[in-house]
Structure 1
């Protein structure tokens, strides 16, 4: 999922366009770049195949306003062509488009402030263990308002070895015939990542709150030594609006051997409601899985990978489909 491997400990400081974006225009302080990926993904469960291929395209613009101020705009869409969704159900339309990002803002020595659809503050924390091309990241569920979401005012800044993010998600407005009101769902999220200089160690902490109805915090750490990367994450959520709590932890490691990268992750998350099959809204669900992946980089921007997920949930509790192992074959081209 990430364009580089060893830099995952400070992934939150990276710009969304990635290292392979191509410059389309650069004149008079205006820069326009195009980036994205094309990814063929074959998912195999119990011998049956589902096409999960996708294409992402993004456009990024930057305008120098003065020596200390610039304007920025970013848009990214994801296209899928399968006539079935992630659960294998038929879609009404044979193609699907998701508008992943759409924001604009101002930046300078103070950092960058944006408004629109963007990442809130917890994504940079879950990036520590979300290192595989396909599997993993099963126990790092986030409150919706702390993930990628619209109506978001976001700030990010770097201060020597410390990177910080702060985001405020405004409640959606409802305009009925005789009144204008909102859904009382204001939310905020905060995070910080500290990289200990010359040690390979990075530590991250994040917190999110949804209008005093639910809150979540995360703690993560990573260590990089030459071509070896290891990380761990713990997540806890107090879901007062559903009378459920959530605890999850993830362990992840990768090792680079020339053009081949080996990955392994273990995820375990549980909703504390007395039975393992529960799902809290669409945000939190139980998980217990061990995943392995091997990726071969033909070129820095073109890779092939094989990923396998050992699902250890009890099918008597969650159903056979939710407890099935999954193998994925993929080819990915970044541009």
Structure 2
């Protein structure tokens, strides 16, 4: 997979959550139906503590051109992970996408469990196989996906605009997001976004207090030949972990180089930083290094995260370095 094709697949996934690979089950002049997914084995080593992070993702999707002015589509995708503490093979199933939508000359409208408007922007840096894209997952409207979401997309060759509204989503969140991106050249794209959510911020299961969280974002990405550079910065206020209205600042950076026969080797470096004035549990501060090899629909990779200062992003929440090895087959 060349790096440009990889980015095109990521862009398509951001707009319509199209699969990176899929098998067509049925197709005629106006309809098609596809099935796709991935099987991924992953092992994580944190301070000599090994944990299995393997998963399976499956999706079905289709579209129907009703007439020259309207095409409708739908998608369902879920992820299965084994319950690590169980010996009897029990598993957890999690919905990733469940939506329907329509596409016209005036834009695309989608409703369901899907990407937020600002996901297009935050995906500028969320491209590593493992350690990237950590700073935007703190609220329902800035995270990659949310349920009960209505999203509008308008895109031209240079301009992309998205708006989304969420009702009773994760943590009983209500809110919205807006994003606009513009390609100054074929190589350089700039973007800005804003999100706001009113959601429960208690740190216990029965805490129902709500308050508003706001995020203001700027992003840029540069692509030329085998080089990719992306950066995002965020600031705003957040209510989480039992604390209301704490100011925060955050930044993400991602750099990658593609090389070798068919540009099938990738090395990348990522950096994630998040700091809320009054909520130490949200602190994120690490550098990630990764090598990945892509052979058709198969990939193998090795990722290493170096925890810095007050980093709490580890699953063990102990500011530790992490090594993750993985292999993935997509279909």
One fold, TM greater than 0.5?
yes
Question: CA shift at 1:252, angstroms?
Answer: 1.0
Q: Per the alignment, in what secondary structure is the counterpart of residue 242 of structure 1?
A: strand
Equivalent pairs counted in the alignment come to: 307
Which residue of structure 1 aligns with residue 201 of structure 2? none
Which residue of structure 2 aligns with residue 23 of structure 1? 24
RMSD: 2.7
**1:12–1:124 contact (8 Å) kept in structure 2:** no
Equivalent residue for 2:292, pick from 267, 291, 295: 295
Moved more, 256-265 or 202-211: 202-211
- Change in Cα spacing, 1:43 to 1:122, as seen in structure 2 (3 Å) is same
Distance in 1 of aligned mates of 2:231 and 2:28 = 44
Which residue of structure 2 aligns with residue 191 of structure 1? 179
**Does residue 65 of structure 2 align to residue 99 of structure 1?**
no
**Does residue 264 of structure 2 align to residue 267 of structure 1?**
no
Q: Per the alignment, in what secondary structure is the counterpart of residue 253 of structure 2?
A: strand
Which residue of structure 2 aligns with residue 205 of structure 1? 192
Taking the TM superposition and a 5 Å limit, the aligned residue runs for 1:1-335 are 5-7=6-8, 10=11, 14-27=15-28, 29-84=30-85, 94-147=90-143, 148-171=145-168, 185-198=173-186, 200-211=187-198, 213-239=212-238, 242-258=244-260, 259-273=264-278, 278-279=280-281, 285-299=282-296, 301-314=297-310, 321-335=317-331
Question: CA shift at 1:239, angstroms?
Answer: 2.5
Compute the TM-score of the two structures, normalised by the length of structure 1: 0.84
Q: Structure 2 stretches of 5 or more lacking a match? A: 199-210
**2:162–2:180 contact (8 Å) kept in structure 1:** yes
Post-superposition, which runs of at least 4 consecutive aligned residues in structure 1 deviate over 6 A? 90-93
Deviations 1:78-98 (A, max 9, x none): 0112424xxxxx699820100
Which residue of structure 1 aligns with residue 202 of structure 2? none
Moved more, 21-30 or 249-258: 21-30
Question: CA shift at 1:56, angstroms?
Answer: 0.5
Distance in 2 of aligned mates of 1:4 and 1:119 = 21
Q: Per the alignment, in what secondary structure is the counterpart of residue 141 of structure 2?
A: helix
Question: CA shift at 1:61, angstroms?
Answer: 1.2
- Change in Cα spacing, 1:167 to 1:93, as seen in structure 2 (3 Å) is farther
Q: Structure 1 stretches of 5 or more lacking a match? A: 85-89, 173-182, 280-284
- Change in Cα spacing, 1:269 to 1:92, as seen in structure 2 (3 Å) is farther
- Change in Cα spacing, 1:3 to 1:196, as seen in structure 2 (3 Å) is closer
**1:8–1:127 contact (8 Å) kept in structure 2:** no
Distance in 2 of aligned mates of 1:257 and 1:163 = 30
**1:156–1:165 contact (8 Å) kept in structure 2:** yes
Distance in 1 of aligned mates of 2:103 and 2:316 = 49
Distance in 2 of aligned mates of 1:124 and 1:92 = 40
Compute the TM-score of the two structures, normalised by the length of structure 2: 0.85
- Change in Cα spacing, 1:272 to 1:76, as seen in structure 2 (3 Å) is same
Deviations 1:238-277 (A, max 9, x none): 226713011111121000012210010111110112xxx6
